[in-house]
Amino acid sequence: MSLLGDVVDNFLSALSNIIDLIISAISGIGNLITGIWDLLEIFYSFLYYIYIFLSIVVSLLTSPTSLIMVIFGSSFWYSAFTANTRKDMLIKLGVFYKYVFEVSAKIIYSAYIIVTKFISAIIDII
């Protein structure tokens, strides 16, 4: 008990609790805003990585030389790491090319759909 009495002590402790509550509420709102900002930064980074991936896919699909180099490089890599003999390597190379030529139309169509949906989503946002 202080020299001013119990009433003043109780008032000051209640006032201190109210001030602490207000400061905690303001701090919580600040932390909420910071959390929302961090989520927006993560979303922005995710969109940026999707954009970079789609730009790589589009550049590979629109440049026949780059597309052929990717197919050749991946086919040699696949056959070299999965085959045990030279004959098996040639067989794996043929199987890979067969698969690539059968599925290439589906891949190109899927990439076209992705790019058109992405562009139409950007246009709808604007």
Compute the distance between CA of residue 23 and CA of residue 33 in angstroms, rounded to an integer: 15
* Each residue's pLDDT expressed in tens, for the chain with a length of 126 residues: 566 667 777 887 888 888 988 999 999 898 999 999 999 999 999 999 999 998 888 887 788 888 788 888 888 888 888 888 888 888 888 888 888 888 888 888 888 999 899 899 888 887
Amino acid letter, residue 111: A
Structural domain spans, the chain: 1-45, 63-126
pLDDT at 84: 87
In one-letter notation, the amino acid at residue 16 is S
Among 56, 71, 44, residue whose Cα is nearest residue 115:
56
Query: For position 49, what pLDDT does the model report?
Result: 93
Residue 37: which H helix or E strand, with range? Answer: helix 6-62
Whether the full predicted model's pTM is greater than 0.95, yes or no, is: no
Task: Give the pLDDT confidence score for residue 36 in this predicted structure.
Answer: 93
pLDDT score at 52: 92
Structure tokens at 40: 């927006």
